[in-house]
Amino acid sequence: MAGLEVVAAETSEKILRLYPNETAWHSDWKKAFPEAYREKTFLNRKEGYYHRADIFTPCGTAIEFQNSPLCLEELRSREAFYPNLIWVVNGAKFKGFKVLKHLPDVADSRLSAFEFSHTSNLTMVRKSDIILGVEKPKVMTFHHPELRNVPLTSYYYSFRWSHPHRVWYEAKCPIIIDLGGYFLYQLKQRSQLNGNYAYLQMIPRKNFITQYCGNLPYTQIL
pLDDT of res. 1: 46
pLDDT of res. 19: 53
Angle at alpha carbon of residue 70, lines to 157 and 43, rounded to 5°: 115
- Give, for 16, the enclosing helix (H) or strand (E): helix 9-16
The closest of 118, 108, 100, 189 to 149, measured between CA atoms, is 108
**pLDDT tens for residues 171-186?**
999 999 999 999 999 9
Report the predicted TM-score, pTM, of the whole model to 2 decimal places.
0.86
> Which residues touch 189 (CB under 8 Å, ≥6 apart)?
169, 196, 197, 198, 199
- Cβ 74 vs Cβ 170: under 8 Å: no
pLDDT of res. 215: 53
Where the chain has pLDDT below 50, the residues are 1-3, 8-12, 14-18, 217-222
Return the domain boundaries, the chain: 1-103+153-222
The three-state DSSP-derived secondary structure of 131-198 is HHCCCCCCCECCCCCCCCCCCEEEEEEEEEECCCCHHHHHCCCCEEEECCCCEEEEEEEECCCCCCEE
